[in-house]
Each structure stands twice: as structure tokens, then as C-alpha cells.
Amino acid sequence: MQTGNFVEGKVVLVTGAGGGIGREFALALGREGARVIVNDLGASVTGEGRDVSRAQAVVDEIVAAGGTATANGDSVSDWDGANRMVTQAVDTYGRIDAVINNAGILRDRFFFNMSVDEWRAVIDVHLNGPFYISRAAAPHFKAQQSGSYVHMVSTSGLIGNFGQANYSAAKLGLTALSKSIAMDMAKFNVRSNCISPFAWSRMIDGMPTETEEQKARVARLQRMETSKIAPLAVYLCSDDAKDVSGQIFAVRANEIFLMSQIRPLRAMHTAEGWTPQTVAERVMPAMKPSFYKLDRSQDVFDWDPV
């Protein structure tokens, strides 16, 4: 592993870094000179079990290549655990410069069959967890007048997908949390951004391949290596990104997208005020041509990755 210096000396906490995209983040940060806290609970894709050896294995890779890293096995969905991660970074390396909120689980189910436990488990990891980690790091970022948050979101929330009401809601909520952090922390020179990744990992390894369309989609995803996401994440943790905040990016193989944010699309007004009848007669016919379809991610990104 060739060591660079793009984030030389920075201390970065990466959650869910025992495999997949998080592992690639940790390895890339190590190559570029960062000191990395490699967090991973070691749970299954659905959140069961615990095994810190996955995080330690990534630490061993970084250290063997000449980098600096430490393992952490706390859960992001636990407030005390989140604080222990940040405290470990500060106690071990003297500071914390960036947080990458990457940890995730899936409990996919159509909305009408989704249990309360399936809802809560995903919200805890994908929305509460990033809040806990980000909030724990905030006093340190404020005190040193610098810091970077990178949150992993999803087109399941930004656009939509079947069978992922819990995941979609959490990821869109995380997008809003990132924007709020960016605004609240701007005066302390702290920035917050989102990355929506397209990549093949164990999180989506169980996708159905029953139809030809499903098989083709999986084949496309398998060409999108997790390592392709890392360069943007490393950049967002660096001082070169000091003027980049409140943005949503997507990465698909060799493509990087700047995603839109919700803004007014059409408007109508009347001096008399509206009634249900005038809404039906005037507003809806005028606005219907601009209605969004019930698109899924693959409907919007319908060309092969570059």
C-alpha cells in the first residue's frame, strides 16, 4: 500500500468499517496518511451478532501497509457507545477531525408487512446512530474550529424503492440531518455532506435474481466496486473540501453526481383563496404534467455505469 498525504495526520472515525464500503474508506484513509478508528459491531446484515474481529482485521491491513489504525466494536445505535468511539479517538490520537457515518443494516419488507421491530431497528442504526456519533463529535469540532461529517445515504430515500420503507425513511432523514448540521455548525468551520453510493456489497448481496431484469440489474451492480466510492469520501475529509458543505453526492463506478435538493417546482395562487372544488378544477390539472412518477433508483439511473 502506497502512503499518500491527502489527509496526513487527520483522525477519522469510520463506522461499519469491517467490510464493504466502510472497509474501503478505512483503507483509503490509511493510505492517505489518516489515523483511523475502524468501528464495526461485527453484526450480520440484519443486525444480529457481535464480532470485533472484523474491525481488527481491517486495522491489521492498515498497519501492515504502514498506516495507523485502532479497532472499535461499539454499536452506533447506542448513545454511550457512540461517545466511547469519539472518546477513544481523542484519547488515542489527541483529536478527531472527521466522522464517516457508514454503518448499516437491512430489514427489507413491504410496508404493509413491516413489523415495528423491523422499523425501529433500521431507524436506530441509520438515523439515530448518525445523530449519536455526530453529536458526540460536535464539541470537539467546535473547540478546534474545524471538522467534517460524511454521511452515507441512498437513492432508496432520495428517489425511492420497493420494500424499504424503514431504510428509505432513515436515509432521507439522514440527508436532512446533514443539512441541519451543515447550517448549525458552519460558524465553527465544520462541514457536513452526504454520499449516496452505488456499489456491490454484502448489504445488497441478497437481492433477488429471479427475472431477467433482476439478473441484469445485479450484473450491473457487481461491476460497481466498493473502492470507487472511497476517493470522494477521502476528499470530503480533507482540508481541500473546506468550502464544500450541505451537499448530496452520488457515486456510481467512475461517475460522480451532484444530486438535487427539494425546491418549489410549480405554483398557483388566487386572491379569493382555495376551495376543494377549485383545487380539483384548477390546481391539479395545471400541476399534473409536472407530477413525479413512482420512480425507483433504476428508473432514474437507467444507463449502464461508466
CA dist., res. 77 & res. 35, Å (int): 24
Of 93, 132, 149, 167, which one is the catalytic site residue?
167
Nearest residue to 151 via CA among 21, 19, 5, 9:
21
Our answer to whether residue 167 is catalytic in this structure is: yes
C-alpha cell at position 59? 486495522
C-alpha cell at position 206? 441478497
Any idea which residue has 472527521 for its cell?
98
The DSSP-derived string for 143-155 is HHT-EEEEEE--H
Q: 164-174 burial, b for 16+ CB within 10 Å, e for fewer?
A: bbbbbbbbbbb
CA dist., res. 229 & res. 253, Å (int): 8
CA dist., res. 245 & res. 184, Å (int): 11
Active site residues: 167
